[in-house]
Amino acid sequence: MRLFANGLTLSRLAATIASPLLLASCLAVNPVTGERELVLMPLSQQISMGEQYYGPYQQQQGGQYTVDPGLTRYVAGIGKRLAAVSDQPDLPYEFVVLNDSSPNAWALPGGKIAINRGLLVMLDDEAQLAAVIGHEIVHAAAGHSAAQQTRQTLLGMGTQALGAVAQQTEYGGLIMMGTQYGSGALNAHYGRDDELEADEYGVKYMERTGYHPQAAVELQEKFLALKNGNDGDFMSNLLASHPPSGERVKRNSRYASGKSGVRNKAAFQQATAQLRKDQVAYDLHAQALKYANNKQMDKALDMASQAVKRQPKEALFHTAYGQLLLANKQPSQAYSAFTKAVQQNPNYFLPQLMAGLSAKELGKKAEAQKYLSTSLRLLPTAQANYYLGELALESNKNAAANYFKAAATDQGEVGKAAQAQLARLGIGTQQ
């Protein structure tokens, strides 16, 4: 039975909606449109939910972009100006840039907003960026994000399992290779009305801060071009969260007609200069993953090495290079790559996880414990729980059992391995 974010099951939700008195008590004025709507999640709960899931969602989608911290400050500054003129200016807004190549942005309840670097490199100026942020602010301010969470289960935030790119290791394939497994993980599937509403009021927020609303037209044209040129499932799933359409282009054109405003192209180009300079390195990284998928390891290692040389501050590149080295039976070199990745971005779970796994393989138990524990704190994964369980077997079987129980909830190979460990300990997974 599906459990909604506010604790309602489907049957309880149906009973609630069927009760006129309870239905009336759930009606509230939408702060953006001024219309009375059914609200199943009070504002305090929306804020709490956003705060709870903001960090894990970032971890699942590449972590924060850290090569140029000034870019996040720039984006956040624009976001704060737009939020200040919104219809919900007092929400605890936050804005981050995620280290994800997909052209996406999203909002969690309570004003927690993220923009992927893959979207930033698609844009031409600050006004287009304002169109993106204004649109997401409306999703949060109007309660669209919260409404979506009452209709679908949030991504599992307990024990996560990474998606595998390819290679087997001495651990029988339990070490996973995916560095971009979280791309597009947050897929709210907003409806037509929500998207049109976010477009309309997002343009109003742009106008209030002096941006040219024509940028919102151009933004939709960019996404429509992506949709029309798409022949793959990845972009189909990605664009489903913010479905572009000719109707949205026409409506935005009507909103923008006869209006003016600033574009701030020079400021945008300056703020994104490092990101654009590094795009060649990100392309090399993407090529490395493709070669790895095709089991062309020599080419994959070459591409990954080139990416590292072009931008040694990018933890993503060191991590991918280390994963390829580990899959190529070079654990010492892999461990060195992972520790460099941790140095560049200590607050992203994947380098910590991989450093812990490679340290364990090298017999560095203390280092493995440290890295795996840090990884688990940043984002609980089946892998971290499983290998912490193995490390604990010699000294504390009760602790080992708890780790294995957490890992056993995984539906893949890691879960099966954890269940086997519990069986050896004489413990059932239901205990």
Give residue 223's pLDDT. 84
**How is residue 123 written in tokens?**
């844009």
What average pLDDT does the chain have? 83
**Cβ partners under 8 Å of residue 398, min gap 6:** none
Residue whose structure tokens are 């290998």? 387
Q: Exposed e or buried b for every residue in 14-25, given b needs 16+ CB within 10 A?
A: eeeeeeeeeeee
Note the pLDDT tens digit of each residue in 255-271: 888 889 999 999 999 99
Distance CA 265, CA 9 (A): 49
Cβ of 31: how many Cβ atoms within 10 Å?
A: 15
**How is residue 26 written in tokens?**
């759930």
pTM score, whole prediction: 0.84
**Dihedral pair phi/psi, residue 77, rounded to 5°:** -65, -45
3-state secondary structure of 28: strand
Give residue 183's pLDDT. 38
Q: Where are the domains of the chain?
A: 10-157+191-271, 275-424
**Dihedral pair phi/psi, residue 427, rounded to 5°:** -120, 130
The runs of H, that is alpha helices, within 241-330 are 246-256, 265-271, 273-277, 279-293, 297-310, 315-327
C-alpha distance across the termini of the chain, in Å: 22
Give residue 250's pLDDT. 87
* Long-range contacts of the stretch 291-296 (C-beta < 8 A, 24+): 292/165, 292/166, 292/167, 292/177, 292/324, 292/327, 293/165, 293/166, 295/166, 295/167
Which one-letter amino acid corresponds to residue 357?
A: L
> In three state form, how does the secondary structure of 108-126 look?
ECCCEEEEEHHHHCCCCCH
Give residue 173's pLDDT. 38
User: What is 275-424's CATH number, 2.60.40.10, 1.10.287.3510, 3.20.20.70, 1.25.40.10?
Assistant: 1.25.40.10
- The list of the chain residues with pLDDT below 70 reads 1-27, 34, 38-40, 147-189, 229-245, 428-431
**Cβ partners under 8 Å of residue 373, min gap 6:** 356, 384, 388
